[in-house]
């Protein structure tokens, strides 16, 4: 397979990673046959360097460097929080107003790959900003709820903790639809069996930064890739809000 290239120059390349694809192999997934890093290497026939990661279930903008120097410069931009990332998500329940989740997160360690990591680290600051695009209500009982209510959100993480967006929306009792680790089992089942969508409803839809070599502002955007089987409920619901852009 090939990846959709969203942007490319001599220093970096951005692709649209599909949901369900790992960025690269790990000890826990050493036998994974298709990963974004190797796929792009084969596609471009050259070395690529990972700069950041998206969870396997998250689709969207994924950035790679094409040489070691560019990789270092881009990594420094991420570390200094000079890169703006935007996401789109569908969450359980209605959210009516824009907001900020300011909730420190303890580092989640993996037993296989983080065996030597400190287990007594204090919780790290974590902040996520969001705004409401639309809400919908589907007249079908799900779990203990008489109807299925969902909100479509624009999200901007201001920090970059592991699983930050997913954990933050679980924290405020609006878990992301399709999230098998932090989500709602009944609504995930409804998503698969009734809405015919078997993926997590989280997508990295934009990234903005100053090019570390040329100094030119770069803005890369992509659609959420969410299936029409669920998006149509928002457009037909009669509850479509005017988009409140993040600022």
Q: Which positions are annotated as active-site residues?
A: 55
Residue 54 in contact with residue 17, Cβ under 8 Å?
yes
Supply 170's token pair: 């679980």
Distance in angstroms (rounded) separating the CA atoms of residues 142 and 63:
38
Q: Are strands 202-210 and 59-65 parallel, antiparallel or unpaired?
A: parallel
Residue 177 in contact with residue 91, Cβ under 8 Å?
yes
**238-242: Cβ within 8 A, 24+ apart:** 239/134, 239/135, 239/136, 239/137, 240/134, 241/132, 241/133, 241/134, 241/135
Cβ contacts of 76 within 8 Å, gap of 6 or more: 212
């Amino acid at each position: 397979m090939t990846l959709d290239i969203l942007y490319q120059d001599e220093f970096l390349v951005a692709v649209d990673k599909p949901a369900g694809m790992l960025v690269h192999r790990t000890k826990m997934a050493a036998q994974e046959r298709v990963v974004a890093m190797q796929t792009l290497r084969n596609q471009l026939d050259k070395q690529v360097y990972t700069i950041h990661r998206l969870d396997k279930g998250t689709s969207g903008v994924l950035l790679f460097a094409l040489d070691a120097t560019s990789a270092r410069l881009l990594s420094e931009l991420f570390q200094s929080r000079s890169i703006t990332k935007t996401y789109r998500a569908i969450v359980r329940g209605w959210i009516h107003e824009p907001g900020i989740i300011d909730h420190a997160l303890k580092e989640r360690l993996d037993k296989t790959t983080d065996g030597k990591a400190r287990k007594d680290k204090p919780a790290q600051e974590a902040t996520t900003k969001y705004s409401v695009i639309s809400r919908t209500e589907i007249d079908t009982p799900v779990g203990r709820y008489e109807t299925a209510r969902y909100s479509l959100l624009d999200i901007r993480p201001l920090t970059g903790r592991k699983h930050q967006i997913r954990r933050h929306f679980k924290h405020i009792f609006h878990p992301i639809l399709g999230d098998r680790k932090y989500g709602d089992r009944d609504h995930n089942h409804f998503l698969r069996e009734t809405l015919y969508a078997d993926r997590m409803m989280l997508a990295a839809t934009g990234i903005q930064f100053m090019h570390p070599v040329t100094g030119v502002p770069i803005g890369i955007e992509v659609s959420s890739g969410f299936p029409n089987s669920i998006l149509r409920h928002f457009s037909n619901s009669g509850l479509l809000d005017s988009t409140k852009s993040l600022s």
